[in-house]
Structure formats: structure tokens, C-alpha cells
Copies of this chain bind each other. A is one copy, B any other.
């Protein structure tokens, strides 16, 4: 069989998955909106309605969904349940990923108790901390393990995703240990830049950066009145 890329005329099932990052980032939003619609008893949804629920443009919804395949019906819309299934499958949520949370401070506690993980396809398989006085404590039905036992805990739990909620100073060390233990995806909450070997995915959530971005726009708004006035004057004068 020749490569489908060069010969798309043949009725080959699909060329190859090349879903853009921006689309992947929006699929969970659609998924949540679809779950809401399903609970409300809606069985069919148009791209317009889904776009409104997800807070985006309807053309974007259609283009995003078209990357998954042609799952809509023209003149009708998309079947909610079927679309939930397809997006879940594409995101890999049909299996339950085991997650380890490292750093059981305020944020780690909050994450451990956060219901949103369990309800989607994630299972908190391990809680890990460096403080021995915290080891053995139970949070949300999971016992806290010591960081020195990370390798065993990760292996036993089949953990593939690690969440770092430690102070910045130890985050890279924790990250290295997670990778050494076999974790291949990391979500970092520590306010520091981490480096990981190729093949390991890394995402970061930085609370303080989000506020600083808001600060920028807030300041811009404060000076906006004067600035737009100035621009208007310049436009008239020139």
C-alpha cells in the first residue's frame, strides 16, 4: 500500500493524526459543554449552540471537530453522546490514567481533594511528600508516601502522570525523580522553569503569572483614556 499522503484518491480511512495544539486545548472545553448538554437532556447540538456553550466561534468548532472526522449530520448537527465518545477517545480519556501528586502542602491538599480529576478519566494513585511527619496521613482516601519511596509507589500504582506542587527550590529534583521512576507527563505548579528529557511532556500552571498578565491589562486600562484621546488627536492632526 502506498502512503496515503501521496495518494489520497484511494479510500484510505485517514491520512494521519495531525491535530493542532490549539484544537487539542479546546477539546476538553467542548467535552465539558457536551456533558452539560447531555445532563440537560439534549441529544443533538449544532456547531452554533456548542460554540455558544464553549465561548468560542462556531467556525472554530466545526474546524476543530473536523480534525476528528466527519461526525456531524448536515442540516441537523452533532449527536451529543456520540461526540462525547469520540472526543473522549481522542483525548485518551477512555482509560483511567494514574496520577501522582508530589508536595502535599496547601495546594497539594486542594488538588488531592479536587473532584474534577476523579470525574474525568483520572485516578489519584499516590500522594508524595518530603515531610516525614506528613507521611501516613490520609487525604481523600489515599495515604501520603515519602518521597524516597517514589520509585516503588509510582511503579505499583502504574503512574504515568505526575503533578508537582512543591516549593520551587525542590521542583527540578522532584521532576528528575519522577522521570527516573518512569513518569512521562508532568504538570508543574511550582513557579520555576523545569527541564525534562525528550519524550516527556511538560505543562505548567503558574498562578502568579496569570495575575501579572491581568495586571498588565489593568494598567493599560488605567492609561487607556488618555492614550486613545492622544491617538484621536494625532489622527485628526496628521
Using a CB-CB cutoff of 8 Å, which residues 94-125 of chain A contact chain B?
95, 97, 99, 105-107, 109-111, 113-114, 116-117, 120-122
A212 and B28 contact, CB distance less than 8 A: yes
**A44 on the interface (CB 8 Å rule)?**
no
B116 and A218 contact, CB distance less than 8 A: no
| Least distance between A217 CB and chain B CB atoms (Å) | 5
A185 and B110 contact, CB distance less than 8 A: no
A58-66, A71-79, A145-153, A230-238: which lies at the B interface? A230-238
A208 and B106 contact, CB distance less than 8 A: no
B106 and A213 contact, CB distance less than 8 A: no
Residue ranges of A at the interface with B (Cβ–Cβ < 8 Å): 1-4, 6, 16-17, 24-25, 27-29, 31-33, 53-55, 90-93, 95, 97, 99, 105-107, 109-111, 113-114, 116-117, 120-122, 160-161, 184-187, 191-195, 199, 201, 203, 205-222, 227, 231, 234-235, 237-238
Bound together, the chains give a CA A93 to CA B160 distance in angstroms of 38
- Chain B residues with CB under 8 A of A1: 234, 237
Cβ 8 A contact of A203, one of B25, B29, B213, B222: B213
A208 and B3 contact, CB distance less than 8 A: no
| Least distance between A206 CB and chain B CB atoms (Å) | 8
Write 21 A-B pairs (CB below 8 A) sorted by A numbering. Answer: A16-B227, A17-B227, A24-B216, A28-B208, A54-B193, A55-B193, A55-B194, A92-B215, A92-B216, A93-B215, A97-B218, A105-B110, A107-B110, A114-B207, A116-B207, A122-B215, A185-B217, A199-B221, A201-B214, A201-B221, A203-B214
